[in-house]
Structure 1
Amino acid sequence: MQSSLPVRLTCILLATTAIGMAVMGLYVSRALETPLVEHTIASTVRDARIIHDAIVPYVGQGRPISAPQELAQYYAAKLGARVTVIAYDGMVLGDSERSLAEVRSLPNQRDMPEIQTALAGEVGSQLRYSQALHQDILYVAIPLTEGSQIKGALRIALPLTQVDKAAISVHRTVSLGALLAFGVVLAVGVFISRRVTRPVTEIQSIARRMAEGDFAQRVPVSGSDEIAELGRTLNLMAARLHEQIRDLKGEQAKAAAILDSMVEGVVAIDHRERLLLMNHAARAIFSLGAERVEGRPFLEVIRHKAVLDLIQAMRLATVGETRRREVELGPPLERLVEAHATAVAITPAGPGVLLVLHDITELRRLERVRTEFVANVSHELRTPLTSIRGYLETLLDGALEEPVNARRFLEIAHTHAERLSRLVDDLLQLSDIETGKVILKPDALVLRHVAADIVMMFEQRALQKHLALVNAVPSDLRVQADGDRLTQIVVNLVDNAVKYTPEGGRVTLGATRGLSGFVTIWVDDTGIGIPSTDLPRITERFYRVDKARSRELGGTGLGLAIVKHLVQAHGGELWLESELGKGTTVYFSLPAA
C-alpha cells in the first residue's frame, strides 16, 4: 500500500537520520575497537614473554609431559586466560583448560594462523568466534626460542571483554542519540505535513473516494492559488462524471439483462480477435466457467478451428454482412451449433464480429430419432402386412377352394396378424412408459418366489429345447418393486435367453446384494452371444443383431427397450455382458427392500 506524502517526507527524514547515526556509530565503534584490540594484544605479548623462559626448557621433548601441562595451568590462573604450550611440530604439550589425558588427544595446531606466524619467529594474533563460549576470543602466540632455535609456540587466549564493554557503551550512546534525533525529525515531519501537505492530502483523499464511485464528495475550496483551482476543477469533473456514469450504467444494465436472458449465445469480438463480450448462453455452449474472458484472445479461450475460420473469414466482409455455418463442438460435451457471424463496427479501430450461436443439438437429435423411428416402424409394419396381404390375395385368386392350402395360408396370415398386434401393443406400452403414464406400485417382493413363477412359466418351452432352466436366486433377497412390472422385465429377459440358446444349453436366474442398497439380478444363458460391436445399441428400439432370425422367432425388437425403461423407472440400471458363441448375461439393479 502506497503511503501518503507527509508520511513519505517524515520517513525520508527518519531514514536519513538513521543512516547518519548508523554510520556514526559504526565509525565510533571501529575507532575505539581497533586501539583496544591492539592494546590487548600488546599486553598479552608482554605476559607471554614473562612466562617464556619458564616454559622453554620443557619444550622439544616430542610428546606431552606433565611439566608443560602444570606450567600452563599455573600461569593461566595468574593471568586469567587460557594458556597453551605447543611443540614445533604442532603437537599440544599443555593446555590450561584440559587435563593431561585430554591434552594427548587434542588435534595438531600447526595449521592455526597464529601458530604458523609464531613458528616463523613472529608474534601471531587471530580473532575468532568461539561456538562454545558464544563470543569473540583473541588468540596471541609467540615463538618459544632457545638461542636462535625455535622450539615451539606459547599461545594465550582471552575473551575481548573490555572491548565488548566499550562497544556496548558506544552503541548505547549512539542509540540514545538516535532516539533523540528521531524525536526531533518526527516533530519536524508532523509540522511539515500539517502546514505544507494538508491541502494536497485532502484533495487526494476526496479524489480517491470519487474514484471509488462516491461522486457526492466535494473538495473544500478557499483562496485563489493553484491548489484551490485544482479543487474547483476536480469538483466540476466529479459532477460531470457522475451524470455520465449514471447514464452508462443504466444502458449497460439494460443490455446485460437482455443478453443474459437470451437462449442464444452472443459473442462480440474486436478487430484484433479479442473477446469483448460473452453472455451466459455462450459460456454454456462452449463449456466455460465463471472466469473472466473479456479482453483475452478468442483462440486462447475457445480453441475451435471451425469457429475461428468463420471469424477470420469475416475480416474481408463488409459491415452488416452475415454468414451462417453449422459447427460441431466438443469434447467434453458434443454439441451441434448453428453460428451466425455478422461484421459490425464495434470499435473505431476496425470492424469486429458479432457471433450469434443457436444450440441445435437436441433439434437434430430429435429429427434423427423421428426419422429412424418412422423408418423402423414403417418397415416393421410393412413386413407382416405384406405377408398378410400376399396370402389373402392368394386365397382370393383361388386358393380358398383348396382346403389344405387355404387353412395353411390362413394360419400364416393369422401368425403375422398376431405379430403385428404384438408390435402395436409394444409400441403403445413403450410410449406409455416413456411419457410417464405407467404408474408403479412398489412393494417388498421375495425375489426367489418371483423367479420360481417365471421358471414354471417357461418350463414347458425349456423342456422342448432340452434346456436347463435354473433358479439360483437366494431365498433371503427382497426388492422394492412393482410385482407386475418386475415379472414383465424378467419374462422378457428369460424369453430372449430361451429363444437364442440352442438345444442342450442352460439358462440361469441369479441375484446378489449389491452396493448402495441395491440388488443385482441377472439372467445368464449359454446361447449364441452378441458381437461386441452390437452391445452398445442392443437396447435401442427395433435394433436386432440378426434381423431375419429375430423375426423368425417372433421378436418385435422392442423387448429390451421396454425392459431398460422399466428398470430405470424403478431407479435401477441395465447392462449386458456377452461373448460371441458362448452366451450372454443381462444384469439389472433394483432397490433392496
Structure 2
Amino acid sequence: MQKLIQKSGSKYKKRLFFFFFLIVLIFSVLIGGFQYSQERLYRREKLEYALNIYTQQVHELIQKKGLNKTLNFSEVDTLRALMPDKDIRISVITAKGKVVYDSYVENIERLDNHINRPEVQKSLHSQKGSNIRLSGSTGQSYYYYSKNYYEYFVRTALPINESVLSFLKANTLFFYFLFGLFGVTVIFLIYATEHFGNSISKLRKFAINAAHNREIDPNEDFGKTELGEISHQIVKIYRKLTKTTEALSLEKEKLIMHLQIAQEGVAIFDKKKNLILWNSHFIDYINYLAHISSHNYQELFELPELKEITDFIDTNIKKLGTNYIPNVDIISTKKTITIGHKVFLFQVVVFTDGNFEISVNDITKMENEKTIKQEMTLNIAHELKTPVTAVSGFLETIKDNPTMDEDKKVQFIERSCLQINRLSNLIQDISFLTKIEEANELFAIEEVNVKEMVQEMLTDFELKLAETKMEIELNFPSDLKVKGNSELLDSIFRNLIDNSIKYAGEGCKIKLTHYFEDTNYHYFSVTDNGIGIKEEHLPRIFERFYRGDHGRSRKMGGTGLGLSIVKNAVAYHKGRIFVKKRKEKGIEFFFSLKKTL
C-alpha cells in the first residue's frame, strides 16, 4: 500500500506540472497576441494622429482663404511643400464625392466619384475614417485618412513603403521579455510542483488511512506552504470530527432530555403511526383529551376531535408513497381543540419520508388574553360613550328649553365642556398607550436630565398643589441622566404625581426619591401619605380602565389609563414597577429605568 501511494504521488506531480505548464503557455500566448494587437493599434493611431494634423492644417487653410468657394487650391500645394512627410498625398472631396483637388493627380476631371471610397464612407458615419488599400487613381497602395467637415472631406494619405511599414511594425522587445519570463515561470513550476506534490501525496496518504480507520500520524509534516497549512487544518478538522461523532450519541440524549422539559407536547410517528419519540407533556395532554392505553397510541387517531388531523396525515402519507422526495414544501396543518376550560393547539408536520410529528400546545392563556383584549375594546367603547351621552343630554336639554335660565344654561355648557375635555384626554391617553405598545420604534432616544425635567414639570402642578394644600419633595441628584425618550419619561412622573394629587387627599405630601443605582439601572420611588388603596385593588391598578372606586375616579376626571401608561413607559425603558401600601399611610411606587437604551 505504501509503494502504491508513493507511485501515485509521482504521477500526480507530473500531471500537476503539465497542467500548470499548459495554463502558463496558453496565458503567455494570449498575452503575447493581445500585446501584439495593441502595439499595432497604437502605431496605427500614432500614424493617424500625424495624418489628422495634416488634415486639420489643410482644413484651416481652406476656411481661412475660402478655397472651397474659389476652387483654387494652389496654396494647398504650398502648404504640402512645407510638411515634413514629402510623400504626403492630399485630396479635397466635395460632400457629394467629387474630387476638387488631389496633390498626386493633375487631371482631376478624370477621377471617379469618391463617395464610396471605404475611408470616405467611414468618415460619413463617424467624422473620420482610415483604410489601407490600392489607389484606383495612381495604382499605388496608400494608408488613407479621411475627415468629414460636412461641406467637404479632406483626405491625407501616405504611400505604403518601407518607412511606413517599419513604422507600423510592432515592437518585438516585449516578446523577448515574455519568452524569458515564460522560462523563469517554468523553472518555478518545477520547483513548486515538487513541493506541492509532496504535500498532496501526504494528504492523499492521510485520506486513505482515514477512510480505512487506520491510525493517523499526528506528527506528519506537510511542509510550510499554504497547502501544507491547509493539510494540517484538515487533520485537525478530522480529529474534531471524530470527537464530534463520539459526542453525537450524548447530544441525542440531550435532545431527548430537552423534549422532556419542553412546555409543548411533542411526538414523532412513523408512516404506520407507530410512536418513535415523545415527551411527557405529549402524554399528559393526550390523556387529558381522552384516556388512551399507554401501549397503543394509535387509538389517538380514532378520536373524533382529531379526525381532521388524521385525514390530513393519511392523505399526505398516501401522496408521498414509499419514495423519499427531497426539496418539497413543508407539509403541515394546525387545529384548535377546546376541552372543558382548556384550549389546545395541535400542529402536524408530515416529513418527506412519510414520518410525521404532532405537537400540542396549551394555549388557554393566549385565548384568555384574546378575551381580555375583546373586553378592553368593550371598555373603550363604554368609556367613550359615557361623556358623549352626557354632552348629548346637556345639549338636547338646552335645545328643547329655549327659555331656560341663563345660569342653568351656562352650568350645562360648563358640564359639557368638562365631558368634552374628559373625552379628549381619554382619546389622547388611548392613542399614546397604543403607540407605546405597538409602535415604540417611533420614539426618539436622547439623553435626558431627569431632575431638570421633573422640576420643570412641577410648575404645571403648582395650581393643583395650592388648591389641595399638598406639597412635593424631590430627592434627585443634579446629574441624574437617562438615555431614553423624554416624552415617555415625562409621562411616568407626570401620571404618578397626578395620581397622588387626585386620590391621596388634601394636605398630603408627595415624595419623589432616587434611592439607588447600579451599573445599568436607576431606581426610584414615588410615595404619598394619603388615604391609600385597598389591598385587593393593588394587583389590578395597572390594568386599562381599572378603577378601585369607580364613582370617585370619574368625579376626579380620570381616564383609567394613567397607571397603564406608566407601566408600559417603564417597560419601554427596560424597567419594572411595583406598588405597595405603606405601613404608616398612603401608597408607594417602586420602579427602575435602564440608564441607556
Same fold (TM over 0.5): no
Indicate the structure (1 or 2) with the bigger Cα radius of gyration.
1
TM-score range (shorter-chain normalised) is: 0.3 to 0.5
